[in-house]
């Protein structure tokens, strides 16, 4: 499944402009503790987090994640979005809760990494 297909399933907006939305999503993960994600992140994952600062993009880039999903309509600052584009990390914004996002991804066949 691609990042673009994930966005459709979630009814999410793609808020980055340059990142590759055709990239494959290999699995999903939800966590807000960056050190934990640094230890458990995997290439190609779709990571759901309420965190919106620059370090989120650094962690996603470190693991070459397919995308970051920001739930509940939480706002991400423009400078962070620009950095995500520079690093090739697609960022999705959803009105759904993290729990709802996980449910929809699991129902679509995306498992844990």
Tell me the backbone φ, ψ of residue 83, rounded to 5 degrees.
-65, -40
Task: Say how many domains are in the chain.
Answer: 1
The proportion of the chain whose per-residue pLDDT surpasses 70, expressed as a percent, equals 100
Read off the CATH number of the domain in which 91 is found: 3.40.1390.20
Strands 90-93 and 13-14: antiparallel
Residues 23-52: pLDDT tens digits? Answer: 999 999 999 999 999 999 999 999 999 999
Q: Tell me the average pLDDT of the chain.
A: 97
Q: Has residue 75 been placed in a domain?
A: yes
Dihedral angle over CA of 110, 105, 10, 20, nearest 10: -20
Residues 67-81: pLDDT tens digits? Answer: 999 999 999 999 999
Q: Has residue 28 been placed in a domain?
A: yes
In which residue are the tokens 């290999």 written?
A: 26
Neighbours of 70 (CB within 10 A): 25
14: enclosing H helix or E strand: strand 13-14
Q: Has residue 113 been placed in a domain?
A: no
Given a cut of 80, whether residue 91 has pLDDT beyond it is yes
Cut 0.85: pTM above it: yes
């Amino acid at each position: 499944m691609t990042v673009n297909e994930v966005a459709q399933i979630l009814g999410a907006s793609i808020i980055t402009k340059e990142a590759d939305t055709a990239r494959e999503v290999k699995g999903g993960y939800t966590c807000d503790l960056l050190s934990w994600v640094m230890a458990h992140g995997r290439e190609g994952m779709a990571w759901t987090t309420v965190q919106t600062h620059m370090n989120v993009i650094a962690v996603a880039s470190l693991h070459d994640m397919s995308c970051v999903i920001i739930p509940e309509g939480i706002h991400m600052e423009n400078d962070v979005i620009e950095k995500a584009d520079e690093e090739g990390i697609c960022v999705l914004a959803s009105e759904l809760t993290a729990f709802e996002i996980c449910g929809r991804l699991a129902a679509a066949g995306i498992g844990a990494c």
